[in-house]
Structure 1
Amino acid sequence: MIDLRTPGEIEDMKPAGRFVADVLRATSRAAAPGVNLLEIDSMAHRMITAAGAESCYIDYHPSFGASPFGKVICTSVNDAVLHGLPHDYRLKKGDLLSLDFAAKVNGWVADSAVSLVVGGDETPADRTLIDTVEKALARGIAAAQPGGRMGDISAAIGETAHAAGYSVNLQFGGHGVGTEMHGDPHVANDGRAGRGFPLKPGLVIAIEPWLMAGTDQIYTDDDGWTIRSADGSRSAHAEHTIAITADGPVVLTARG
């Protein structure tokens, strides 16, 4: 079922968006060489508790997960693509880290992700990969116009990726957001403009392009959660929760 939110409900979702943005800003700043992924998870957990928010991840157990996630933030490093389960690993200078975080505030959910190179020691290839997912996200958001179709968003993302020389995996993509983290409609990261679900004011979705440097094939790690590139190439992920309004898309998780 696809729910359309009233203007008042969209206003009510904004605190969740601001909180998610705050956590990603804080954890991104904390992601320095020598910092353990479990410390990043603990920081996010403390922020959830202090804000009176709820984790969307800790008890999350979809069909593709081996068990409840058990942590509150996804930390995907280097060839880890999505759903990186925080574990006892100390970040190194030059690691490519993606942070994906969702939380519920006052009954409403927001979901967002960002990628960065730890210690700022980035290669041109890493910079291009991160820039491409960020550009794909921006173009997907710009295409989320009332009166359009879901395929407009998917096509904008896919065209951006292909133009930069990347292939696109379609097994995971964006999704509806509301009182739960994942809902309809699915937002594919490639597609044809003018096709798919009509984009109407009140639709709230997470748009989330993710790319791997050398492949579009993935596998699940032994932890039952972390998804990695099949060829070991590095990956990047970007995501925002947006609301489609009569005046166009509004980014609820903007980090400023």
Structure 2
Amino acid sequence: MRRAFKSAAKKVLSSRLLISKKARVVFLFHDVSDPGAEGHSAHYSTPPAAFREQIEFLHHAFDLVPLPDLHKARGNGKPLAGISFDDGFLSVLERAHPLLRSLRIPYTVFLNRAAAQDNRLHYSDRYPGLNRAWRGKVYLDEEDVRQMSREGVAFGSHTLSHPTLSEIGDAEARHEIAGNKAWLDHLLRQKTSAFAVPYGKTNHFLPRDVKLCREAGHTHIYTTIPGFFLPGEVKPAQHLIPRIPVVAERPESIIFSLNVAHIRRIL
């Protein structure tokens, strides 16, 4: 009986969005590639066919806007959502960008200098298969970033090398945060204001790191803590911004996750 009830409840919660039309959601992607491609990982990679299905669903279900507009724009009868990518994979340019551009969907890429300059990141020891130099090009390089910026893509900072901030000292954390912003500002010849916390859960950063981000000039700090927010609930200067991570989920799984978050808010 209990199993049947859970199955029925999941089916209902996966069928249509229950969240308020005033809701604001940030979705997080990483790599868009097929299994077997260099850089592909089940931890973060989205197959291109799945990505197209996900984006077409999001395009239908949400008003997709630039990330800063989530805090000031009004929706046209739909919840507002923003699209983000972490780590700056080359596949964002090669596989995601053409689709997003054809649908006129804005998005933000959070970059690390080590990826753009050295074609590698220093992932946590929890992911030993990713801590290596790749044979081919896996990440966007600096010229790719300039090209995408000219085409209207927004960029934010993601630390120099992708450390777990809660596991490093004060001086190193300051260097990782402020140093990457300085590099990105110089590369783009403009001031950037968005920062995405590497890994992004509450155990991955400290209050110290939030303070360092603010001191460096970041006004919008994004986590991977799942959830959405309503107008006025999240003020970028005071709060951290939640995101919904997406890998290979079908649209009904995305609907289910958002509806569960909605139910938790009202219980």
TM range (shorter): under 0.3
More strand by share: 1
Normalised TM-score (structure 2): 0.27
Asked which structure has the greater CA Rg, the reply is: 2
TM-score by length of 1: 0.28
Structure with the bigger percentage of helix: 2
